[in-house]
């Protein structure tokens, strides 16, 4: 589904990513873990063509999409729920959803069934929604592109506990439906209940990867690379 090989990227003269490598298989949920500023969002931005890769490869299926334009990345089947949500503030809920729609399994009715609260807010502008509602809208907007792989950057950041639980419940439904997911979030306990595998990034490098059993059997990983 997604394969990243030896990815390097920089902001000006400051290199941020050093040979990042991981993959996400079809129907798999994989996390990118690490403290703030370690390169997780930069990895996502480079995969999506928002930041040029200086070296390495990004494969989507069998296609080399390294440094492809973001719209080509999207058409190849990548759906992004960006950090900070970035919903269209002056479009209402309906317009936000249909603006990104592509034919496929996910449609307007199915998104509203997943997030009934959005159905109650159809006429509200993006900037009139709560943070939790904006995150639901951002996820729904990505689903409307009918992606082969959903990528969520900070899936529940800044949300109230009850809303976080609602988001995790919806993401679990997506997993059960066979969606492929790459996710970043600070709630490691929730991620270990939700994901299949984990990739830990420290200073722009992959320092550890493994499944839930491996993470549980290596408790020092959390202390060394995840705790502030």
In a domain, 16, yes or no: yes
Q: What residue has token string 């809920």?
A: 93
3-state SS assignment for residue 66: coil
Q: Which of 23-27, 42-46, 85-89, 212-216 has the lowest mean pLDDT?
A: 212-216
Tell which wins on pLDDT, 219 or 149.
149
**Contact (Cβ atoms closer than 8 angstroms) between residue 136 and residue 167:** yes
Strand partners, 212: none
Number of domains present in the structure of the chain: 1
Distance of CA 66 to the CA centre of its chain: 18
Which H or E element spans position 123?
none
Residue 162 lies in a domain: no
User: What CATH number should be reported for the domain holding residue 67?
Assistant: 3.40.50.300
Whole-angstrom Cα distance, residue 26 to residue 175? 11
Examine residue 209 and state whether it is found in any structural domain, yes or no.
yes
> Is 49's pLDDT higher than 90?
yes
Averaged pLDDT for residues 56-70: 97
Sequence-distant (6+) residues with CB within 8 A of 26 are 1, 148, 180
Mean pLDDT of the region 76-96:
96
Q: What does the pLDDT average to over 11-24?
A: 95
Which residues, including other chains, have CB under 8 Å from residue 15's CB and lie 6 or more apart? 8, 9, 54, 204
At residue 191, the pLDDT reads 92
Per-residue pLDDT, averaged over 13-33, amounts to: 96
Q: If we measure between CA atoms, which residue out of 141, 123, 184, 133 comes closest to residue 159?
A: 133
Whether the predicted model's global pTM rises above the 0.75 cut: yes
| Mean pLDDT estimate for the chain | 94
Average pLDDT over residues 5-10: 97
Residue 134 maps to a domain:
no
Q: What is the mean pLDDT of residues 210-217?
A: 90
Instruction: Encode 32-58 in three state secondary structure.
Output: EECCCCCCHHHHHHHHCCCCCEEEEEE
Instruction: Provide φ and ψ at 4, rounded to 5°.
Output: -115, 125
Residue 60 belongs to some domain of the structure: yes
Q: To which residue do tokens 């440094």 refer? A: 67
pLDDT per residue as tens digits for the range 173-205: 999 999 999 999 999 889 989 999 999 999 999
Asked if 89 and 127 count as a contact pair (C-beta separation under 8 A), the reply is yes
Q: What's the domain range around 59?
A: 1-77+190-228
pLDDT tens figures, 89-147: 999 999 999 998 999 999 999 999 999 999 999 999 999 999 999 999 999 999 999 99
Predicted confidence (pLDDT) at residue 228 exceeds the cutoff of 70: no
Is residue 110 in a domain?
no
Q: Is residue 207 part of a domain?
A: yes
Inside any domain, residue 35: yes
Instruction: Let me know: does 25 contact 180? Beta carbons within 8 Å.
Output: yes
């Amino acid at each position: 589904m997604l394969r990243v090989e030896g990815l390097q990227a920089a902001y000006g003269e400051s290199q941020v990513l050093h040979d990042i490598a991981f993959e996400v298989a079809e129907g798999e949920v994989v996390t990118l873990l690490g403290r703030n500023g370690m390169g997780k969002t930069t990895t996502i931005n480079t995969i999506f063509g928002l930041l040029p890769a200086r070296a390495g490869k990004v494969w989507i299926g069998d296609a080399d999409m390294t440094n492809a334009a973001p719209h080509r990345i999207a058409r190849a089947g990548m759906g992004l729920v960006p950090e900070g949500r970035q919903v269209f503030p002056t479009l209402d809920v309906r317009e936000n959803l249909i603006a990104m729609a592509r034919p496929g399994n996910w449609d307007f009715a199915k998104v509203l069934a997943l997030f009934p609260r959005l159905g109650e807010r159809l006429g509200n502008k993006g900037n009139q929604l709560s943070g939790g509602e904006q995150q639901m809208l951002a996820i729904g907007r990505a689903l409307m592109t009918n992606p082969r792989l959903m990528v969520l950057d900070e899936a529940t950041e800044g949300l109230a506990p009850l809303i976080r639980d609602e988001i995790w419940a919806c993401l679990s439904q997506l997993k059960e439906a066979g969606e492929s997911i790459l996710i970043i979030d600070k709630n490691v306990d929730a991620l270990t209940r939700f994901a299949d595998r984990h990739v830990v990034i420290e200073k722009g490098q992959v320092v550890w990867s493994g499944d839930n059993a491996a993470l549980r059997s290596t408790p020092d990983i959390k202390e060394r690379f995840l705790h502030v």
